[in-house]
């Protein structure tokens, strides 16, 4: 990871720590660190508007934290290049032969951040921060009914995925 690399945060990079590792009441320093790397001027860690919107739907403490700490600093990706790439990604999911049934339809939902996240990263040359894991050997010979996974589709578009721990290391900030 180069020092100039920029990162796009997936929703589960907030949700997994919130639910499994860093309860807000017990680890406020973690949440302070996360906020600090996102809100700093010229931050290389971006939260797409679509991810912000997904996170604020829950009505839980994470939703409140997101609204209180990330409102107004999200990355808006409304460009022709991003939406053209978004179309390519949706076409890939529908026509690659790797996904069928409900799995590919899931990515057609309004407000689904995953394809937009990949489109932004592909256009900008950024990396995606996600805890999502590859489905493994998904191919036209081995299709799945399950929802496409960000790492699998991102790979098709030359986008690298990293987890939050790799970002922590890149920024060498202590929690």
Residues 88 and 155 both lie in one domain: yes
Residues 84 and 155 both lie in one domain: yes
User: Could you give the number of structural domains in the chain?
Assistant: 2
Residues 101 and 58 both lie in one domain: no
Q: Is this prediction's pTM over 0.85?
A: yes
Phi, psi of 126 (to 5 degrees): -95, 170
- Residue 69: domain span: 9-74
Q: What is the mean pLDDT of residues 135-148?
A: 90
Residues 133 and 93 both lie in one domain: yes
Residues 84 and 156 both lie in one domain: yes
Per-residue model confidence as pLDDT tens digits over 128-139: 999 999 988 889
- DSSP line for 109-173: STT--HHHHHHHHHHHT-EEE------SS-BTTB-BSSPPPHHHHHHHTT--EE-HHHHHHHHT-
Residues 146 and 132 both lie in one domain: yes
Residues 50 and 97 both lie in one domain: no
What is the predicted pLDDT for the residue at 175?
A: 40
């Amino acid at each position: 990871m180069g020092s100039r690399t920029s990162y796009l945060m997936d929703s589960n990079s907030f949700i997994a720590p919130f639910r499994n590792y860093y309860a807000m009441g017990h680890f406020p320093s973690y949440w302070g660190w996360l906020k600090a790397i996102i809100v700093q001027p010229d931050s290389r860690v971006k939260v797409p508007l679509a991810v912000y919107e997904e996170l604020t739907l829950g009505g839980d403490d994470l939703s409140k934290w997101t609204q209180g700490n990330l409102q107004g600093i999200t990355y808006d990706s409304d460009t022709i290049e991003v939406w053209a790439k978004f179309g390519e990604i949706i076409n890939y999911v529908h026509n690659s032969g790797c996904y069928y049934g409900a799995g590919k339809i899931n990515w057609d939902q309004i407000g689904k951040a995953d394809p937009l996240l990949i489109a932004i990263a592909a256009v900008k040359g950024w990396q995606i921060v996600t805890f999502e894991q590859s489905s493994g050997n998904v191919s036209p010979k081995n299709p799945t009914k399950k929802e496409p996974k960000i790492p699998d589709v991102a790979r098709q578009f030359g986008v690298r995925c990293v987890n939050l721990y790799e970002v922590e290391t890149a920024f060498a900030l202590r929690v």
